[in-house]
Amino acid sequence: MKVSSGEQMREMDRRAAEQLAISEEILMENAGAAAYQVLSRELGIAGRRYVLFCGIGNNGGDGLVVARHLLSGGATPRVFIIGDPGRFRGAAKTHWEIVRRLPIEVKRIRESESVRAAVTHSDGIVDALFGTGLDRPVGGIYEEVIELINVSGRPVLSLDIPSGVSGETGEVLGTAVRADHTVTFGLPKIGNLLYPGFGLCGKLHLSRLSFPPALYEDEAIQVEINGRLPLPLRRPTLHKGEAGDVLFIAGAAGYYGAPYFSAMSFLKAGGGYARLAAPFSLIPFLATRGSEIVFIPQAETTEGSLSGKNREALLALAAQTDMVVMGPGLSLAGQTQELIRELAARIEKPLLIDGDGITALARHQEILRNRPAPTILTPHAGEMARLTGIPAAEGERRRIPVLQEKAADLRALIVLKGAHTLIGTPDRRIFINLSGNPGMATAGSGDVLTGTIAAMFGLGMPVEEAVRKGVFIHGLSGDLAAADKGEDGITAQDILNYLPYAMKQDREGLDGPLAERYQGP
């Protein structure tokens, strides 16, 4: 499912009007009717009392349509307008002229205390203050009303996006409504699906507004939900070499978990043959944990990290495998960082670079640009800041455009890890992944992700699909672990252990709340 920006949605509205003669009045009517249906289904209508807070833009106009439908359905709507109703324009003005002639209480308010009693005695609240175009912090009476809504204890339906959330970034602009339900129109907006906005939407509903598919499936819309891709079938005659032969270059003194989790997760997610090239002194310890891994002891520096002496042997080994994963726990030792750069420049197989590998290449990005084979990078926010030169806070706020620029610049697939991990492609497409949970913010989780992605490639998926599927399966595994154990205290080992169950459930077909969450509104 595509995900739009506010500007793209406005362009969709314009095309509907100019090319298809679907007027703004019809679109607003459809939006209000869709919101009414959500209220009817989720909260009930007849005999209910609803308070509607309306701004004086199109979002407020949508709210006026809802009020009219509520009246028709047997509810008692009370409309409180913030701002001068004389400033309604276009379709919103048309619906204002209708509502003001109906037996609906309509009142302009200038301070929130005057409506506290009405809110307290209502059965539900409709938030129609701002749409997706909000671009400045909320203040004054708007801030007061939002705070009143949030402390009311009444169920809240927001129209398009909770007021106070940026439709472009998902950030909270000062303060924002905490909705129980949000009905978004045309397409889900970026702010509906990125945190913290996603966490304020409650249950997200979608109304297409009668747009034809040609509008909402437009290739110019480059952001979409990371939908569930089918796993390749495992043939009865499959042998381990046909399920992927992957080389993991990982580990250093003090970093025992990263090499183990990355190589072992490859096997747990269905991969066939995991070769782990790690410093010689680590191998005895790692072998007690993962005897299924094929270990390739490497010469090490006095610091216990990979020595540059291994370069030619690693290049020869890489040439015999299907993919190389490089970086987990390799350390920041100078000789090892130089080795990473030399290997990245010369390995001619698909290369997944994580952790310390990203750090080694952050100031030598020409190596990544010049690679002839596919490159996958899996940075967290701090590593992304090193790649882009943009402070982490700003990069997080502008995650999508920053990711688009860097993926195109490096001609790489980039997995930007975090709450709702993003996948960026060299042609600037972005996929928003909806699997996973906060319990997965734990040491080693990213190493499990690298092995899971490699496993999807080993099973036969094209590189881009393998990345998308790996991110999804990793999140699903974490969700299954959380369902059994709770989010607190989940470890990378738990995510690793649940990978076979995640693969099993995905193959059999997901259903229930998880399936509903993953597919989006």
Cα R_g (the chain), whole angstroms:
26
Per-residue pLDDT tens for 102-125? 999 999 999 999 999 999 999 999
Residue 453 has pLDDT above 90, yes or no: yes
Contact 182, 155 (CB under 8 A): no
Using CB atoms within 10 Å of the CB of residue 342, give its burial: 0 to 12 exposed, 13 to 18 middle, 19+ buried.
middle
pLDDT of residue 389: 96
pLDDT of residue 341: 98
Using CB atoms within 10 Å of the CB of residue 33, give its burial: 0 to 12 exposed, 13 to 18 middle, 19+ buried.
middle
pLDDT band at residue 247 using 50, 70 and 90 as cut-offs: very high
Contact 436, 475 (CB under 8 A): yes
Residue 242 has pLDDT above 90, yes or no: no
Range list of H helices, 174-273: 190-193, 197-200, 213-216, 257-268
Residue 238 has pLDDT above 90, yes or no: no
Contact 381, 392 (CB under 8 A): yes
Per-residue pLDDT tens for 277-289? 999 999 999 999 9
pLDDT, average across residues 325-343: 96
Residues in the chain: 521
**Nearest CA to 222 among 434, 422, 420?**
422
Sheet holding 413-416, edge to edge: 2-3, 223-225, 430-432, 422-424, 413-416, 375-377, 351-353, 323-326, 245-249, 273-279, 294-298
Contact residues for 363 (Cβ-Cβ < 8 A; gap 6+): none
Per-residue pLDDT tens for 186-221? 999 999 999 999 999 999 999 999 899 989 999 999
HSE-CB at 496 with a 13 A cutoff on CA atoms is: 25
Residue 240 has pLDDT above 90, yes or no: no
Which pair of structure tokens corresponds to residue 268?
A: 């747990």
Q: pTM of the predicted model, to two decimals?
A: 0.95
Q: CA distances (Å), 361 to each of 342, 355, 366, 369, 413, in order?
A: 10, 10, 9, 11, 15
pLDDT of residue 236: 87
**What 3 state SS string does 356-405 have?**
HHHHHHCCCHHHHHCCCCCEEECCCHHHHHHHHCCCHHHHHHCHHHHHHH
Residue 6 has pLDDT above 90, yes or no: no
Residue 406 has pLDDT above 90, yes or no: yes
Amino acid, single-letter form, for residue 38: V
pLDDT band at residue 237 using 50, 70 and 90 as cut-offs: confident
CA distance 202 to 154: 13
Vertex 132: Cα angle to 127 and 135 (nearest 5): 110
pLDDT, average across residues 508-514: 88
HSE-CB at 95 with a 13 A cutoff on CA atoms is: 29
Per-residue pLDDT tens for 145-184? 999 999 999 999 999 999 999 999 999 999 999 999 999 9
Amino acid, single-letter form, for residue 80: F
pLDDT of residue 205: 97
**Nearest CA to 165 among 179, 151, 185?**
179
CB atoms within 10 A of CB 443: 11
